[in-house]
Amino acid sequence: MALYESVFIARQDLSQTQAESLIGKFEKIIKDNGGKVANHEYWGLRTLAYLIKKNKKGHYAMLNIDAPVNAVQEMERQMRFDEDVLRFISIKVDELSKEPSIMMHQRNKEAQIAAEFGVDLEKKEVKNEA
């Protein structure tokens, strides 16, 4: 079986739970076609560089996949039909990374800095310490 990294962007008006359920949906497609998802990451709601289908933001997710070619092709076919998926890309890799991706390192670093300054990243407001 071949190794792949697949990243997709979901619409901005989905909730985080709905975006994560898309990850589960695509994991199931891979498993049903004889593959397995070694790891998945939800990168969160991020601003796009340009408008895609009238969306300024999107939920980013990455899947590390160990599957035959037909499983990945079926997943991509389902992504094309899904109205919630704005863009996707699957890349064949030599080996899957065991460590979190650079995007996850960045999110963890942002969370640490926010905690130091008392900022709630979800609500984007400063916590009062009086």
pLDDT digits (tens, 9 = 90+) for 80-101: 999 999 999 999 998 877 777 6
- pLDDT for position 97: 75
76 shares a domain with 20: yes
Residue 127 is predicted with a pLDDT of: 56
15 and 75 inside one domain: yes
- Let me know whether 32 and 75 are in one domain: yes
* Domains identified in the chain, total number: 2
Q: What's the whole-model pTM score?
A: 0.78
pLDDT range class, residue 130, cuts 50, 70, 90: very low
41 and 8 assigned to the same domain:
yes
Query: What does the pLDDT read at residue 103?
Result: 72
What is the distance between the alpha carbons of residues 8 and 77, in angstroms, rounded to a whole number? Answer: 13
Whether residue 69 is found in the same domain as residue 128: no
Quick one: pLDDT at residue 102? Answer: 65
Helix axes 16-32, 69-81, angle to 10 degrees: 140
Which domain covers residue 28, as residue numbers? 2-94
